[in-house]
Amino acid sequence: MSGLSDVVNGAVQIAEAMGVTLKNLLTRPVTVEYPDEPVAVFPRYRGRHMLRRYDNGLERCIGCCLCEAACPTGAILVEAAENDPANPHSPGERYAKTYEINLLRCVFCGDCEEACPTEAIVLTQAIPMPEYSRRSFILTKEQLLEPPEMNVAIRPEA
Amino acid sequence: MNWIEVFLIPFIKSLVLILALLTGFAYMTYYERKVLARFHVRYGPNRAGPFGLLQPVADAIKAIFKEEIIPAHVDKWVYLAAPVLALIPALIAFAVIPIGPDLNLFGRQVSLYIADVNIGFLYVLAVASVGTYGVILAGWSSNNNYSLLGALRTAAQMVSYELPLGIILVAVVLTTSLATGEGSLSLVGLVQQERPWWVWLWLWVAFPIFFICMLAETNRSPFDLPETENELVAGFQTEYGGIKFALFFMAEYIHMITASAIMATVFFGGWQGPFVDRWPALGILYFVVKVILVLFLFLWVRASVPRVRYDQLMHFCWKFLFPVSLVYLAITAVLVALL
């Protein structure tokens, strides 16, 4: 009787399916409740930018504008100015008077990092937070010099 | 008989029951979302209030304050009446289901059902069928191909699945005559009856069939063809929005609660449980727990089984469930006649 075996097979299959779902019911949710708890990212994750300083407090950026030239989306604006020798911002002759990055344009490719001769601009692993206005997505030099809040956990590579 | 017994007490009982059912509906959505989320290895709503417990409140407020849209091409009165017609049968079917044993409240013996109708089973079946009208009228009055398709599917589905459902209930009614010698169509009487263990065993054989029919009757997955979110654009509900949509939602969930209550009453002894004789209030707890467990079964099936095709649905009902329930009825009849 193929009809009866069909019924039995179908019932067994449904029972198996329900077993699978029941097993999943009893496992811990894999959800990461992101803003409350950090997401795990790899060490080479490219997140929000940061402008670095030397140990003596001087800015690494010498205002060469290479990052601006390298940026594929034109997200970076650098305006350089001459350093005051008595009170220098950076060890070189010039420094960046303004340094702005538009996060709405940035594609986080890391080309600015590659182009920078002094390793001043780097991409950290921090994830940029949402904002309420377009204007606040433009990071100013002051914001970039501050190390960002690390809202992520670094997971081991491999 | 004074007016207190005739009007006041049933009125208060109805009011409490309706409030309890509407709250039950609200938290049924929460329960479903939470349990389904855990089946999907997620958390589900957990932002509004502790454990997301205020989520139903937020949803209700949202539904109420949505813009009231009545499309220009609808049949207005039928369109407005349909959600109400869908909801009311789901609510009033609960009237004959006993929620607990008689309680002594304020010096008065209060029974925890609204009406002990001597044709309880028939009442439940009849009222459940009326609910189909809401769906069909909604589909028809919307004046929309997809809505009409959804409604037509529902009509065929509900009519088909009522058949095996009714037949199983007939078998259940037959077994009520085993213990006392005279049968009863009352759900209140059914719960109070002492039944030997082998009757329970025989009833549980029919439970899967009955449950499948109830899945189809309440339009739940895997038989949620009337709605079919991803094929019919929510079927008969396409043209409904805001609170009118919420009413259909309410009807569906209260149908589920009522169906679970009927199953808990018929197959799992309703409010019966240990120590009910000593503390009658415990009966309510047993009843609620049983209903919640049967509801869990609804959700479990939803999480596990994909939707069937429409021809499979009809095929399954007419070529499998219907004959099987007939055979079950025949065996039950023979057993009852012999014993």
Of the residues A1, A8, A21, A27, the best mutation for testing chain B's interface (the one with the most B CB atoms within 10 Å of its CB) is: A21
Q: Are residues B43 and A29, on separate chains, in Cβ contact within 8 Å?
A: yes
Report pLDDT for B1: 60
Q: Which of A24, A30, A31 has its CB closest to that of B39?
A: A24
Query: Can you give the pLDDT at residue A66?
Result: 92
Cβ of B39 and A27 within 8 Å?
no
Could you report the per-residue pLDDT of B235-294, keeping only the tens digit for each? Answer: 777 778 778 888 888 888 888 888 898 888 888 887 777 777 777 778 888 888 899 999
Point out the residue among B39, B46, B301 whose CB comes nearest to the CB of A25: B39
Distance CA B210, CA B202 (A): 13
Provide the angle, in degrees to the nearest 10, between the axes of the packed helices B197-217 and B282-304.
50
Q: What's the CATH fold of domain A39-154?
A: Alpha-Beta Plaits (3.30.70)
Instruction: Count CB neighbours of B114 within 10 A.
Output: 20
A31 touches chain B (CB under 8 A): yes
Which of A59-73, B132-146, B206-220 tops mean pLDDT?
Answer: A59-73
**Three-state DSSP class for residue A18:** helix
Helices (H), chain A: 2-25, 66-70, 111-115, 141-145
Determine the average pLDDT of the residues in A135-141.
91
C-beta atoms of B305 and A17 within 8 A: yes
A33–B contact, CB cutoff 8 A? yes
A93-129 per-residue burial string, b: 16 or more CB within 10 A, e: under 16: ebbbeebbbbbeebeeeebbbebbebebbebebbbbe
Task: Give the tens place of pLDDT for each residue, A97-119.
Answer: 999 999 999 999 999 999 999 99
Give the CA count within 13 Å in the CB-facing half-sphere of B95: 24
Specify the 3-state DSSP secondary structure of B68. Answer: coil
What ranges do the domains of chain A cover?
1-30, 39-154
Per the model's pLDDT, the better-predicted residue between B154 and A81 turns out to be A81
The pLDDT tens digits for B20-59 are: 888 888 889 899 999 989 898 888 888 888 888 888 888 8
Task: List residues bridging with B201 in a β-sheet.
Answer: none
CA B18 to chain centre: 14
- Which pLDDT does position B232 carry in this prediction? 65
* B304:A30 CB<8 A: no
Which residue segment(s) compose the domain that B305 sits in?
3-338
- C-alpha B43/C-alpha A129 separation (Å) is 23
- In this model, does residue B118 exceed pLDDT 90? no
Q: Which of residues 112-141 of B touch A (CB under 8 A)?
A: none
Provide mean pLDDT across the span A34-45.
Answer: 85
Q: Is A110:A46 a contact under the CB 8 Å cutoff?
A: yes
The tokens for B262 are 């009927």
Q: Give me the number of domains chain B comprises.
A: 1
Nearest-Cα distance to chain A for B305, in Å, is: 7
Which of B160, B188, B190, B163 shows the shortest CA–CA distance to B174?
B190
Looking only at the bridges linking them, the beta strands covering A76-82 and A94-102 are antiparallel
pLDDT at site B278: 78
- Amino acid at the residue A26: L
The beta-carbon neighbor of A25 closest among B38, B43, B305 is B38
- Among the partner-chain residues B35, B42, B301, the one whose CB lies closest to the CB of A31 is B42
| ipTM of the complex, rounded to two decimals | 0.72
What is the distance in angstroms between the Cα of A39 and the nearest Cα belonging to chain B?
A: 16
